[in-house]
Amino acid sequence: MSNTLTLAEVEHIAELAKLGLTPQEAQMFQEQLSAILDYAAMLQQVDTEGVLPTAQGLDSGEAERPGMREDRVAPSLAQAQALANAPAQQDGQFKVHPILDE
Amino acid sequence: MDYEAIIGMEVHAQLKTASKMFCGCDANYAAAPPNTHVCPVCLGLPGALPVMNRVAIEYVLMAGLALNCAIPEEAKFDRKNYPYPDLVKGYQISQYDMPLSRDGWIEIRLEDGTAKRIRIRRAHLEEDTGKSTHMGAYSLVDYNRSGMPLMEVVTEPDIRSGAEAWAYLTKLRAILRYLGIASGNMEEGAMRCEVNISLRPAGSAAFGTKVEVKNLNSFRSVRQSIDYEIKRQAAILDAGGQVEQVTMGWDENAGRTVVQRSKEEANDYRYFPEPDLPVVRARRAWVDELRARLPELPDARQERLIAAGLRPYDAQVLTEEREVAEYVDAALSAGQAAGADARSISNWIMGELFRLLKESGQDIATIQVAPGELAALVGLVNRGAINAAAGKQVLEEMFATGRPAAAIVEARGLAQISDSSELERIVEEAIAANPKAVQDYREGKKAAVGFLTGQVMRASRGKANPQVVSELLRAKLG
Instruction: Tell me what pLDDT residue B411 has.
Output: 83
Q: Is B417 helix (H, G, I), strand (E, B) or coil?
A: strand
Instruction: Tell me what pLDDT residue A102 has.
Output: 42
Q: Which of B364, B382, B412 is the last residue of a domain?
A: B412
Asked if A39 reaches chain B (Cβ–Cβ under 8 Å), the answer is no
Q: Which residues of A touch B81 (CB under 8 A)?
A: 16
B140, B234: one domain: yes
Could you tell me if B120 and B155 are in contact, meaning their C-beta atoms sit under 8 angstroms apart?
A: yes
Give the domain CATH number at B433: 1.10.10.410
Write out the DSSP string of B4-35. EEEEEEEEEEE---SB-SSS--BS--TTSPTT
B305, B431: one domain: no
Degrees, nearest 5: CA angle B190-B107-B354: 65
Q: Which residues contact B456 (CB under 8 A, 6 or more apart)?
A: B423, B426, B427, B430, B464, B469, B473
Residue range A81-94, pLDDT digits in tens: 999 999 999 999 99
| Greater pLDDT, B106 or B336 | B106
The pLDDT of A28-52, averaged and rounded, is 90
Domain that holds residue B310: 296-412
B207, B309: one domain: no
Q: Which of B393, B412, B431 is the last residue of a domain?
A: B412
Could you tell me if A30 and A22 are in contact, meaning their C-beta atoms sit under 8 angstroms apart?
A: no
- How would residue B264 be classed by pLDDT, with cut points 50, 70 and 90? very low
Instruction: Tell me what pLDDT residue B176 has.
Output: 96
Give the number of A-B residue pairs with CB atoms closer than 8 Å: 143
| d(C-alpha A27, C-alpha B142), whole Å | 40
Asked if A50 reaches chain B (Cβ–Cβ under 8 Å), the answer is no
Q: Which residue in B385, B406, B379 sits closest to B394, CA to CA?
A: B406
Mutate to test the interface with A, among B26, B62, B98, B140 (most CBs of A within 10 A): B140
Within 185-214 of B, beta carbons closer than 8 Å to A belong to none
- How would residue B439 be classed by pLDDT, with cut points 50, 70 and 90? confident
**Average pLDDT of the residues of chain B:** 90
Q: Quick check: B138 and A95 CB within 8 A?
A: yes
| d(C-alpha A83, C-alpha A93), whole Å | 8
**ipTM score assigned to the predicted complex:** 0.84
Q: Which residues of A touch B52 (CB under 8 A)?
A: 67-69
Asked if B112 reaches chain A (Cβ–Cβ under 8 Å), the answer is no
The answer to whether the Cα torsion of B120, B121, B124, B129 is positive or negative is negative
Residue range B10-48, pLDDT digits in tens: 999 999 999 999 999 999 998 999 999 999 999 999 999
When divided into structural domains, chain B yields a total of: 3
Instruction: Tell me what pLDDT residue B263 has.
Output: 47
Could you tell me if B233 and B1 are in contact, meaning their C-beta atoms sit under 8 angstroms apart?
A: no
| d(C-alpha B54, C-alpha B290), whole Å | 12
Could you tell me if B93 and B22 are in contact, meaning their C-beta atoms sit under 8 angstroms apart?
A: yes
Asked if A100 reaches chain B (Cβ–Cβ under 8 Å), the answer is no
Write the Ramachandran bin of B213: left for phi over 0, alpha for psi from -120 to 50, otherwise beta: beta
Please determine, for residue B118, whether its predicted confidence score (pLDDT) is greater than 90: yes
| d(C-alpha B279, C-alpha B263), whole Å | 33
Write out the DSSP string of B148-215. -EEEEEEE-S-B-SHHHHHHHHHHHHHHHHHHTS----TTTTSEEEEEEEEEEETT--S----EEEEE
The pLDDT of B252-281, averaged and rounded, is 80
B280, B301: one domain: no
Instruction: Tell me what pLDDT residue A1 has.
Output: 45
B176, B254: one domain: yes
Measured between alpha carbons, how far is residue B356 from residues A25, B348, B351, B397 in Å?
72, 11, 9, 11
Q: Which of B252, B268, B290 is the last residue of a domain?
A: B290
Please determine, for residue A63, whether its predicted confidence score (pLDDT) is greater than 90: no
Instruction: Determine what percent of chain B is predicted with pLDDT higher than 70.
Output: 97
Residue range B319-345, pLDDT digits in tens: 988 899 999 999 999 988 888 899 999
Q: Could you give the domains of chain A?
A: 1-47 (1.10.20.60)
B87, B173: one domain: yes
B462, B437: one domain: yes
